[in-house]
Chain A
Amino acid sequence: PVSNSYEMTAVLVLWLVACLTGTWAVDRGNFKTCDQSSFCKRQRALKPGESPYRALLETMELTNTRLTLQLINDNNKVRLLLELYRLQGNITRVKINELKPLKPRYEVPDVLVREPPTEPLSLLSQDENGVVLSLGAEAQRVIVSARPFRLDIVEGRDVLMSLNSRGLLAFEHLRMRKDTSQTEQDGETEDEDEKEDGMWEETFKSHTDSKPNGPSAISLDFSLPGVEHVYGIPEHADTLRLKTTDNGDPYRLYNLDVFQYELYNPMALYGAVPVMLAHSAQRTTGIFWLNAAETWVDISSNTAGKTVFGKMLDYVQGSSETPQTDVRWISESGIIDVFLMLGPTAKDVFAQYASLTGTQSFPPLTAVGYHQCRWNYNDQEDVKAVDAGFDEHDIPYDFIWLDIEHTDGKRYFTWDPHKFASPKEMLQGIMDKKRKMVAIVDPHIKVDNNYKIHNEIRSRGYYIKNKDGGDYEGWCWPGSAGYPDFTREDMRAWWASMFAYDQYEGTMENLYTWNDMNEPSVFNGPEVTMHKDAMHGAWEHRDLHNIYGFYVQMATAEGLVQRSGGVERPFVLTRAFFAGSQRYGAVWTGDNAAEWDHLKISIPMCLSLGLVGISFCGADVGGFFKSPSAELLVRWYQTGAYQPFFRAHAHLDTPRREPWLFGPENTALIREAVRQRYTLLPYWYQQFYHAHRTGEPIMRPLWVEYPQDPATFALDDEFLIGRDLLVHPVTEEGSRGVTAYLPGKDEVWFDVHTFQKHNGAQNLYIPVTMSSIPVFQRGGSIIPRKLRVRRSSSCMEHDPYTLFVALNPQRTAEGELYEDDGHTFNYEKKEFLHRRLSFVNNALSSVNLAPDATFTTQSWIERIVLLGARKPSRVSMKTADGPENQLEFDYDSSTSVLTLRKPGMNAGADWTVNFE
């Protein structure tokens, strides 16, 4: 009863917030603008072209691995230390810190997968104005200019990137507070600074941020000549292509639990990845700003606002200046530690970023299936009924989810003793259907002396502390809650151990975990999050806010790995994230709403995440808040079925919306969308494997594959899955048709439903009905599917494949087939099969891509479908150890589709099929 009243209070607060704003939308007033964030305001007020920083060339030291150089601020004589590294794989790292900070400044740990290996730098020339260094083999040089300090990275005659070219480098050095310290070390005057408000204390709404360390902001500008398109820096509910911010706030990176977020603006959301990609037809580069404090990013462009006509006029008159995008990063504390990923292609940038922060974790195959979630499935009986509903309506699903109400009074790691009295029995029932479950575990821990988890964390001293040294307490779902300090390694190890089957009672191996509210969300905190002056050991929350959620997911995923003795792959969904979060599981776009615009925005939001390494992304299908119309729900299933993380979810206050509740027609439409997902699971899984190996996004913007086609640069209503499938979901209400851009001048695309062939480099109008999901397979690709859709992905494990071979105009095609046990780490021990399928010279063959790997499969090839084929007179197959035998086939001349009947070879075998 106590917890109920707590919860009611908490919910009431939210409700009041919603009521006071008078609309169903975010209350902007709850969140800071740049003007209300004192460091952002101070930094943004700096004028370009007045850099006080000068490089002291005489301090330069060049060793085999790094260059160091002091910079001096001529206004206050404070010195900075610049370190420059050339990293393997065409990356340059620039670190700037105070030469002698009053106390250490925070440097973000645990995000880089290793200390990045360096390459030698060499001095090319030097005079009193600067230094020129060679950046290794790519004919790249870095030019260090002394006065004012500036770095230019040059390749051949092209400037790739310039740092401090606009003179906005700023470093608020740590200092003693005037009224408390008598000794001013270098006797300089800082009157001007001290006039500024908010340097030593800042108040927002009713919250006061004591700033015992004073101002500590950092800032740096980057110029990107030749660039008109920049992407990344998620999470924002905005277009794929980032907008210029001259006329509004900068894009903000500060993990926040935003209630009913608004679309198309630069406000911060649940996660932050400080990585930006810059693209032009010539080159793709990236900037990785490794800083976990509150960060704002300004973008301006010399071509922004110019009309196409204006640009043409410039071109004709020859008066055009080179297009250029200028970017400026501002963070509240920490140091400047920036990785310049120099491409030159998008895939190089993905590889470069992956070499720094790792790749997408390889999920268990089942996690790539469909997930059914709701706040909340009320009790075990409810779970059983929903599970049975899927069978009754013959809709496959893999995971059913339990939100916070499954716990005993929002005490995570426990079960409600009445509603979920026998969780193992429930889990066994789900396991009998070869399905899984996810239960939520949030990082806020109910303050309750009868709660084991709380007592342990408190007695071990693992809670985050408030500024006065006591355990920090805030309000969240359970009422008063403590927040474990996940930045501590010992705390994370302890947390992971809590997932052991004997610790987390009532759990079995088919129970996985969901980390929500890990921004962290603090209902009564400033901007619904933690006070910045809360303490993590020696560090302020201010220094590391954006990485908290990353650590929560890290510790949880580790727990799931450990409970299986290191055998099983984990699956953990998180709402908050940071650079590197891709290593630990999936993310979703948080608490969206059942609105058409929210369906639309799911595409650019997941595309942006994919570009910065986080491939396993999805949005709540149907929308979290509010209730979708049947049409919106169907369209959302159709879209979600083609996005990496496919989960339906709904708010507690909304009516039920399981797929069969909208009449037989809509049930059939949803069933069909989910079935399409399941037939493509082999392709999806292969994409995950590829993402895990390379860091390339699974769901990717067209420009990644067609980097020289400007028509693709801003597209965000369609996308590619891997290289070979193009999806243009229907996201408009009452749509009669969509116009999809099919890229590639010499390419063809096949409609996957009708097998109709379309030429590339055109805008194709596609009439649609409610059952249409416009999807195209690229000519030149081979996609394996499993057409026997069953209750869950595990049920399809041994099923045969159908290969869809789409021929390009050169009559060739290529694809892959990947398979492993689907759930363990044994693939790391080379237990998988990986085949290259290729069609060339009228022969389709399968060769082993990983001869040193072993895996035996029961799956066989039941059918081969050639799109864009000619009618053969004879088709024969040859396996390594068998005789040549003839295959039956069927040719449809109206669609040019050739279907080979039951070739029957094992999916792991070497074989060739000849077409004569």
Chain B
Amino acid sequence: VFINCSLRRFSSEVEKKTQRSFSLMLDKRFYRERKSFLCIDGSKIIPSEQVNDDYCDCEDGSDEPGTSACPRGRFYCTNLGYRPHYIPSSRVNDGICDCCDASDEYNSHAHCPNTCWNLGQRERAYVEGQMRTLDEGLRLKQQLIEEGVLLWREKQAQLGELQQVSEDLQLKLEEHRRKKHEAERLKEQALKALEARDGGEGHFFFNLLYQLKGILNQNIFKIFLKMRALGLLLTLCFGFLSDLQKKLAIDYGANREFLFLNILTPFPPDLFHSKHIFLVWGTWSGTPKNQYGQMVYENGEPCWQGGSRSATVTLTCGTETALRSVKEPSKCQYIMDFQTPVACQPVLKQQGIHSEL
């Protein structure tokens, strides 16, 4: 902090070199004696006239904070009214305005206006807007989390129902299987008994046998049909069940706030100019600090000339849930910007961008 302050002081002085070095002279900690300067890395002591004299003496560039002389030097833009920041020394007097207070072009042909106030205002307005968005976003997020709780319960209930239904169906199926077995046994027994009497009775008996056979078969067939219907229902049910289980297995965030997003297929069908392109959910790929800030879709529809499509989706805080942009910087590798309240993070608020301005 101390170094920053002192550098800020002399580089913000744009009028004259002497003034820049003068301001430095006030900082006694840079000096062993009145007339020398110790490079910040401690590598060298140089006379104070050689500070900011447009020749690089210190390996670390510390003797030339106000000129372009040092290859690894940094120049401090005070940018009063906006955000102060460092630029590489190579941008001092290169004819391009970098600092909004114009301090980097004190000896060039560039006419740099001081734009700090405007920038600051714009930034403040922007930050305020962001803050409003954040507040609103966080409110919406809370709603979504609450809805998520309900939704989760609903889904869990659905899961329970489905499991119940499938169990019922399985039981019924089993029951019918038993019935069918029973009927088949009955039929066999009856037929055997009748066949054993085969002989004199002639036509009457034959007709009876024929009719009985018909009745028994019909019975078996009915059971068979029911079983088939049950089997189909069960397959459907299993399908729903596994879909739901898959969905529920996904990591929806700490408060299941992403539950409402339909992560497996979040993209509108007309996203790729009405081409049908499928992307398969991969994983969350945000930073350790913000794990849910980015998602990756992989193994999508094969790409012409090899490979498969993939997408990296960045989630940003906003009051609506919408895809803001899709880019394809390399072929079949999409980069998307997805805005949603659930990406709003209260942490942002604590960083206090306000106070810096």
Q: Is the CB of B71 within 8 A of A378?
A: no
Nearest chain B CB to A800 CB, angstrom units:
8
Q: Is the CB of B327 within 8 A of A378?
A: yes
Nearest chain A CB to B346 CB, angstrom units:
29
Q: Is the CB of A434 within 8 A of B96?
A: yes
Bound-state CA distance A658–B95 (Å) is 26
Q: Is the CB of B328 within 8 A of A378?
A: yes
Q: Is the CB of A788 within 8 A of B68?
A: yes
Asked if A655 is at the interface (CB within 8 A of a chain B CB), the reply is yes
Q: Which stretch from A607-615, A763-771, A789-797 is at the chain B interface?
A: A789-797
Asked if A654 is at the interface (CB within 8 A of a chain B CB), the reply is yes
Determine which residue in B53, B306, B331 has the highest number of CB atoms from chain A within 10 A of its CB, and name it: B331
Asked if A821 is at the interface (CB within 8 A of a chain B CB), the reply is no
Asked if B94 is at the interface (CB within 8 A of a chain A CB), the reply is yes
Asked if A652 is at the interface (CB within 8 A of a chain B CB), the reply is yes
Give B316-340 interface residues, CB cut-off 8 Å to A.
Answer: 327-331, 333
Bound-state CA distance A862–B328 (Å) is 47
Q: Is the CB of B71 within 8 A of A787?
A: yes
User: Contact residue range for chain B?
Assistant: 20 to 34
Bound-state CA distance A27–B218 (Å) is 71
Q: Is the CB of A655 within 8 A of B96?
A: no
As a 0/1 sequence over residues 424 to 443 of chain A, the CB contacts with chain B under 8 angstroms (1 = contact) are 00000000111000000000
Asked if A382 is at the interface (CB within 8 A of a chain B CB), the reply is yes
CB-CB nearest in chain A for B325: A381
Bound-state CA distance A862–B305 (Å) is 54
Asked if A452 is at the interface (CB within 8 A of a chain B CB), the reply is no
Chain B residues whose CB sits within 8 angstroms of the CB of A653 once the complex forms? 305-306, 331
Chain A residues whose CB sits within 8 angstroms of the CB of B57 once the complex forms? 901
Determine which residue in B55, B68, B90, B95 has the highest number of CB atoms from chain A within 10 A of its CB, and name it: B90
CB-CB nearest in chain B for A651: B331
Give A848-881 interface residues, CB cut-off 8 Å to B.
Answer: 862-863
A378-B329, A394-B88, A795-B96 known; A789 vs B71 contact (CB < 8 Å) = yes
Bound-state CA distance A15–B305 (Å) is 8
Asked if B69 is at the interface (CB within 8 A of a chain A CB), the reply is yes
Chain B residues whose CB sits within 8 angstroms of the CB of A432 once the complex forms? 96
Chain B residues whose CB sits within 8 angstroms of the CB of A862 once the complex forms? 54-55, 69
Q: Is the CB of B71 within 8 A of A788?
A: yes
Dominant SS at the A interface?
loop
- From B55, B96, B330, give the contact of A791 (CB < 8 A): B96
As a 0/1 sequence over residues 170 to 200 of chain A, the CB contacts with chain B under 8 angstroms (1 = contact) are 0000000000000000000000000000000
Asked if B213 is at the interface (CB within 8 A of a chain A CB), the reply is no
CB-CB nearest in chain B for A654: B330
Q: Is the CB of B329 within 8 A of A382?
A: yes
Dominant SS at the B interface?
loop
Bound-state CA distance A470–B153 (Å) is 76
Chain A residues whose CB sits within 8 angstroms of the CB of B333 once the complex forms? 655-656
Nearest chain B CB to A788 CB, angstrom units:
5
CB-CB nearest in chain A for B53: A902
- From B55, B90, B96, B331, give the contact of A901 (CB < 8 A): B55
Chain B residues whose CB sits within 8 angstroms of the CB of A794 once the complex forms? 95
Bound-state CA distance A588–B120 (Å) is 47
Chain A residues whose CB sits within 8 angstroms of the CB of B54 once the complex forms? 862, 902
Bound-state CA distance A113–B91 (Å) is 44
Nearest chain A CB to B98 CB, angstrom units:
9
- From A378, A654, A795, give the contact of B94 (CB < 8 A): A795
Q: Is the CB of A433 within 8 A of B96?
A: yes
Q: Is the CB of A902 within 8 A of B305?
A: no
A432-B96, A434-B95, A788-B69 known; A656 vs B330 contact (CB < 8 Å) = yes
As a 0/1 sequence over residues 52 to 66 of chain B, the CB contacts with chain A under 8 angstroms (1 = contact) are 011101000000000
Chain A residues whose CB sits within 8 angstroms of the CB of B91 once the complex forms? 790-791
Q: Is the CB of A790 within 8 A of B305?
A: no
Nearest chain A CB to B124 CB, angstrom units:
23
CB-CB nearest in chain A for B68: A788
CB-CB nearest in chain A for B109: A798
Q: How many residues of A contact B (CB 8 A)?
A: 25
Bound-state CA distance A577–B331 (Å) is 31
Determine which residue in B71, B88, B330 has the highest number of CB atoms from chain A within 10 A of its CB, and name it: B330
Chain A residues whose CB sits within 8 angstroms of the CB of B69 once the complex forms? 788, 862
As a 0/1 sequence over residues 181 to 216 of chain B, the CB contacts with chain A under 8 angstroms (1 = contact) are 000000000000000000000000000000000000
Chain B residues whose CB sits within 8 angstroms of the CB of A378 once the complex forms? 327-329
- From B53, B68, B329, give the contact of A656 (CB < 8 A): B329
CB-CB nearest in chain A for B333: A655
Q: Is the CB of A902 within 8 A of B55?
A: yes
Nearest chain B CB to A828 CB, angstrom units:
25
Bound-state CA distance A653–B304 (Å) is 9
Chain A residues whose CB sits within 8 angstroms of the CB of B71 once the complex forms? 787-789
CB-CB nearest in chain A for B47: A888
Determine which residue in A394, A654, A795, A796 has the highest number of CB atoms from chain B within 10 A of its CB, and name it: A795
Give A374-399 interface residues, CB cut-off 8 Å to B.
Answer: 378, 382, 394
Nearest chain A CB to B350 CB, angstrom units:
26
Determine which residue in A378, A433, A652, A788 has the highest number of CB atoms from chain B within 10 A of its CB, and name it: A788
Q: Is the CB of B90 within 8 A of A790?
A: yes
Q: Is the CB of B330 within 8 A of A795?
A: no
Nearest chain B CB to A188 CB, angstrom units:
58
Chain B residues whose CB sits within 8 angstroms of the CB of A902 once the complex forms? 53-55
Nearest chain B CB to A802 CB, angstrom units:
10
Bound-state CA distance A794–B109 (Å) is 13
Bound-state CA distance A324–B71 (Å) is 55
Chain A residues whose CB sits within 8 angstroms of the CB of B95 once the complex forms? 434, 794-795
Nearest chain A CB to B327 CB, angstrom units:
7
Nearest chain A CB to B72 CB, angstrom units:
10
Give B61-97 interface residues, CB cut-off 8 Å to A.
Answer: 68-69, 71, 88, 90-91, 94-96
- From A382, A652, A787, A791, give the contact of B331 (CB < 8 A): A652
Chain B residues whose CB sits within 8 angstroms of the CB of A382 once the complex forms? 327, 329
Bound-state CA distance A432–B96 (Å) is 7
Chain A residues whose CB sits within 8 angstroms of the CB of B88 once the complex forms? 394
As a 0/1 sequence over residues 100 to 130 of chain B, the CB contacts with chain A under 8 angstroms (1 = contact) are 0000000000000000000000000000000
Bound-state CA distance A740–B331 (Å) is 41
CB-CB nearest in chain A for B306: A653
Nearest chain A CB to B30 CB, angstrom units:
21
Give A619-667 interface residues, CB cut-off 8 Å to B.
Answer: 652-656
As a 0/1 sequence over residues 191 to 220 of chain A, the CB contacts with chain B under 8 angstroms (1 = contact) are 000000000000000000000000000000
Chain A residues whose CB sits within 8 angstroms of the CB of B331 once the complex forms? 652-654
Nearest chain B CB to A787 CB, angstrom units:
6
Give A398-449 interface residues, CB cut-off 8 Å to B.
Answer: 432-434
Bound-state CA distance A397–B203 (Å) is 107
Bound-state CA distance A370–B85 (Å) is 28
Chain A residues whose CB sits within 8 angstroms of the CB of B327 once the complex forms? 378, 382
Q: Is the CB of A791 within 8 A of B94?
A: yes
Nearest chain B CB to A4 CB, angstrom units:
11
Nearest chain B CB to A363 CB, angstrom units:
21
Nearest chain B CB to A430 CB, angstrom units:
12
CB-CB nearest in chain B for A433: B96
Nearest chain B CB to A350 CB, angstrom units:
37
Nearest chain A CB to B303 CB, angstrom units:
8
Identify 23 residue pairs between A and B in the complex whose beta-carbon atoms are under 8 Å apart, listed by A's number: A15-B305, A378-B328, A394-B88, A434-B94, A434-B95, A652-B331, A653-B305, A653-B306, A654-B330, A654-B331, A655-B330, A655-B333, A788-B68, A788-B69, A791-B90, A791-B91, A791-B94, A795-B96, A799-B68, A862-B54, A901-B55, A901-B57, A902-B55
- Seed contacts A791-B90, A901-B55; 14 additional CB < 8 Å A-B pairs: A15-B305, A382-B327, A382-B329, A432-B96, A433-B96, A434-B94, A653-B305, A654-B331, A655-B333, A791-B96, A795-B90, A795-B95, A902-B54, A902-B55
Hey, which bits of chain A sit against chain B, CB under 8 A?
Answer: 15, 378, 382, 394, 432-434, 652-656, 787-791, 794-796, 799, 862-863, 901-902
Hey, which bits of chain B sit against chain A, CB under 8 A?
Answer: 53-55, 57, 68-69, 71, 88, 90-91, 94-96, 305-306, 327-331, 333
Closest 3 CB pairs of A and B: A795-B94, A902-B55, A655-B330
